[in-house]
Amino acid sequence: MRTQVGIIGAGPAGLLLSHLLHLQGIDSVVLESRSREQIESTIRAGVLEPGTVDLLAEAGLGARMKAEGTVHDGFELAFGGKRRRVDLVELTGKAITVYAQHEVLKDLVAARCAADGALYFNVSGTTIDGIDSDAPSIRFQHSGAEHTLHCDFVIGCDGSQGVSRAAIPEALRQDYEKVFPFGWFGILVEAPPSSDELVYAHHDRGFALVSTRSSTVQRMYFQCDPKDSVNAWSDDRIWAEMHTRVDTEDQQVIEGRIFQKNIVGMRSFVSTKMQHGRLYLTGDAAHIVPPTGAKGLNLAVSDVRVLTAALQEFYRSGREHLLEAYSETALRRIWRAEHFSYWMTRMMHRLDGVSPFEQQLQIAELEHVTTSRSALTALAENYVGTSAV
């Protein structure tokens, strides 16, 4: 098998990269260990920055997003029994769009299939060879047969547990990580929205988040011990916790049938450099952010935007200066988003082991952020996204 760009991973980064390259006349093959049904049904966060929305629309992927996504002009910070609104449009002139990640993936898969794109699901035994040469290859198993994909470039879009990052020698990588001592207990609920916009709540008992997936399905989270058991939480106990952390005198969480429960850990991670030889990393293969800042999917899209421009330049002119600068260019946006996500996480969560003095500093910071025009603008600018370059 032969292609120009071999892509490992059919998440948002891999599929979007393949589609954007196709629009530029560049061939690619996408390899994915999961089934199509799995990637299209795994419900994950879906807060899209305006830059992400614009790129998807420009690439012909905006029809369902425009019809089914919800534009939010702001969000709310809840603390001290009150909610304070962050008006994104008034502060920045921009809004965010809530459109679930699995819906983005459905659109991407449909676009690649419509273009007869080479997508291989349910692959296994993937290994990468020859990244130090001009002729790298990817070996994999599919439908009981062994295959070798020869390509000009290998792009690792296979997440934090994939094979791509490990293909870069440890001696050439510098990994940075912060593991938080808390997690999020997430639920999916059959109910109407509890709020017109997302609600981020700071409470003595811990953080909580009220989000939405559709007019009938809502996503909610509350801070928990990452080692806790889902089975230890009955529906009644969950609702009692959400009401305690989020409800105000005139606004309450709307209950419904809980049909999914899970616990996710929280960590920040960056691996540098994001390239070695003919191998380039994007998305979760290179960096992880805690979900507090809603940056994960948007950072992957940012990586892809930068890498697409670099590959386009290479195939048009043979020049490699954008490819050589890929890590440096992408990391400027990544570290900005890492800092914002870390700051939001530290400000909104209960921090065990800190003194009462430090706990009061959190409240003072929230008061400052929600009453200072300049502080509020900085929050809004980071939330809607900074430039990728």
CA–CA distance, 340 with 336 (Å, rounded to integer): 6
155 three-class SS = strand
Active-site option among 102, 291, 326, 349 = 291
Q: What is the DSSP letter of 2?
A: B
The CA distances from residue 12 to 104, 115, 261, 289, in Å, are 7, 17, 23, 16
- Identify whether 383 is a catalytic site residue: yes
291 annotated active-site: yes
CA angle 16, 20, 21 (to 5 degrees): 115
**Residues with Cβ within 8 Å of residue 61, at least 6 apart in sequence:** 19, 104, 107, 108, 111
**Cα atoms in the Cβ-side hemisphere of radius 13 Å centred on 133:** 8
| Active-site entry in 22, 72, 106, 339 | 72
Catalytic pick among 221, 280, 326, 383: 383
H helices of the chain, where?
A: 12-23, 36-41, 50-58, 63-68, 88-92, 101-114, 235-246, 296-317, 321-324, 326-348, 356-371, 373-384
Tell me, yes or no, if 136 is annotated catalytic: no
Active site residue 342: no
Which is catalytic among the residues 200, 221, 280, 326? 200
Active-site position among 102, 203, 295, 349: 295
Which of 168, 167, 164 is CA-nearest to residue 32?
A: 164
- Residues serving a catalytic function are 72, 200, 291, 295, 383
